[in-house]
């Protein structure tokens, strides 16, 4: 599967420098059944590198560089940002995703920050880099814990968290928080039930959505 791409210029909202980036011209939906955290199949995961861009001048990372930032160039040049919270130098796209997540937290875009850490964890999963994948999932869970108001009432994120908590290795928390829990949607309740089953047997692996009892592949 070859993505259809095009070139486009963006002006960095942090430093004002224009630069040209390759973006997806057509957003092809994934074909197969996703994992429990909605991770798409491998061909589609190759698109991840088009979901984040980096300013060649200041290092600001976001889905699009002209997205306004609620922080100054000082933060983009801080050690935390440049080092991607200590996870830099292992996977270039994951680096950018983590820096995007850090910026999203500064921008109070907490759901987007969790998504960016999730994407970074997928990239590390494909590198068989379990330590960094788990670190990204733990960072996402921390954002979720520290900003409960941003996620209140959102069952999709609540159930996504069960997967991120389990896959970061905190099996007891999944059992403690999700056992017997009902959600508005039967599908979400079924996924949460399955997450508790997996956590009970300390299963840290990725599982596909069609493994959930009662859910069939499309």
Residues that bind Zn ion (CB under 5 A): 12, 14-15, 17, 55, 57-58, 60
Shortest Cβ 200–Zn ion spacing (Å): 47
Shortest Cβ 191–Zn ion spacing (Å): 40
| Alpha carbon distance 96, 117 (integer Å) | 10
| Alpha carbon distance 127, 130 (integer Å) | 8
Q: Which lies closer to Zn ion via its Cβ, residue 58 or residue 175?
A: 58
Shortest Cβ 73–Zn ion spacing (Å): 8
Q: Which lies closer to Zn ion via its Cβ, residue 101 or residue 212?
A: 101
Shortest Cβ 5–Zn ion spacing (Å): 22
Widest CA span of the chain, in angstroms?
Answer: 53
Shortest Cβ 145–Zn ion spacing (Å): 31
Q: Judge residue 49's burial from the number of C-beta atoms within 10 Å of its C-beta, 0-12 exposed, 13-18 middle, 19 or more buried.
A: middle
| DSSP string across the chain | -PPPEEEEEEE-TTT--EEEEEEESS-PPP-S--BTT----HHHHGGGGGS-EE-TTT--EESSTTS--SS-HHHHTSHHHHTGGGTTTS-HHHHHHHHHHHHHHHTT-HHHHHHHHHHHHHHHHHTT-HHHHHHHHHHHHHHHHH-HHHHTT-HHHHHHHHHHHHHTT-HHHHHHHHTT---SSHHHHHHHHHHHHHHHTT--S--BGGGSTT----
Q: Which lies closer to Zn ion via its Cβ, residue 52 or residue 140?
A: 52
Shortest Cβ 13–Zn ion spacing (Å): 8
Q: Which lies closer to Zn ion via its Cβ, residue 81 or residue 157?
A: 81
Q: Which lies closer to Zn ion via its Cβ, residue 18 or residue 214?
A: 18
Q: Which lies closer to Zn ion via its Cβ, residue 12 or residue 161?
A: 12
């Amino acid at each position: 599967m070859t993505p259809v791409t095009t070139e486009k210029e963006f002006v960095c909202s942090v430093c004002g420098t224009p630069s040209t980036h390759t973006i997806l011209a057509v957003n092809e939906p994934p074909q197969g059944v996703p994992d429990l955290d909605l991770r798409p199949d491998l061909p589609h995961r190759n698109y991840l590198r088009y979901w984040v861009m980096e300013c060649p001048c200041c290092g600001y990372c976001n889905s699009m560089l002209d997205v306004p930032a609620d922080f100054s160039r000082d933060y983009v040049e801080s050690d935390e940002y440049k080092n991607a919270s200590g996870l830099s130098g292992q996977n270039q796209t994951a680096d950018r995703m983590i820096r995007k997540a850090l910026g999203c937290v500064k921008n109070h875009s907490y759901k987007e920050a969790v998504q960016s850490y999730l994407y970074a964890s997928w990239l590390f999963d494909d590198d068989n880099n379990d330590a960094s994948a788990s670190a990204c999932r733990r960072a996402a869970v921390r954002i979720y814990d520290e900003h409960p108001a941003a996620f209140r009432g959102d069952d999709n994120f609540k159930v996504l968290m069960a997967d991120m908590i389990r896959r970061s290795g905190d099996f007891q928390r999944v059992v403690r928080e999700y056992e017997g829990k009902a959600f508005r949607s039967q599908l979400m309740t079924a996924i949460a039930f399955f997450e508790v089953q997996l956590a009970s047997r300390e299963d840290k692996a990725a599982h596909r959505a069609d493994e959930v009892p009662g859910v069939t592949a499309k």
